[in-house]
Amino acid sequence: MLLRMLYLASQSPRRRELLGRLGLEFGLLELDVPEHRQPGEPAFDYVRRVAREKAGAGLLKVMGNPDAVVLGSDTEVVLDDEVFGKPRDPADAAAMLRRLSGRTHQVISAVSLVSPSREAQAVSISDVTFAELDEATIARYVASGEPDGKAGAYAIQGGAEVFVTRLAGSYSGVMGLPLHETARLLREFGYGA
């Protein structure tokens, strides 16, 4: 008999670390879910859809276990309704950081939890304000390699923490998995998080 098992549908080491903080055992599912915003799709809807698609794709991988529960999540940086995904290269990372410099942007983080019989979702929206960043600061940060693979070209838990003058919302949500919302969803599914 297969036991009820929680799976994280993510390749993100930050999400693994954050989910691990809740003290639950979970398996990992590596997926390649396309992340493309549809024309006219609001940023909020896009982040929710991608989280749901990740969880759904993960559930398809573990269909042999009728008691499987899969967690999918997506986090995006949004400024002026433009979604700043992961930078293509160092020049793209520098361009993103220049646009974020001295401004307040939103970080939308959606969490979807699915099982063969139910689905639930939560969303965290945080406002993050960056200090004015000069070109030397941007160049140093980009050269560190930290922006690679990070939405908006920064990691709040890393060197970019010094850029943040104000945060209203969820620090863990900006990292990639809002723990308050995630723990609440897991409790709804019977996990003592």
Taking CA atoms, 164 is separated from 34, 104, 155, in Å, by 30, 10, 11
The question of whether 45 is a catalytic residue gets the answer: no
Distance, CA of 192 to CA of 147 (rounded, Å): 34
Q: Which residue, chain included where needed, has tokens 């929710």?
A: 48
- Tokens, residue 53: 């698609």
- In the chain, % helix, strand, coil (3-state, to 5) comes to 35, 25, 35
Distance, CA of 132 to CA of 190 (rounded, Å): 45
For residue 83, the cross-strand partners are 78
Spot the catalytic one: 74, 80, 81, 92.
74
Q: Which residues are known catalytic residues? A: 74
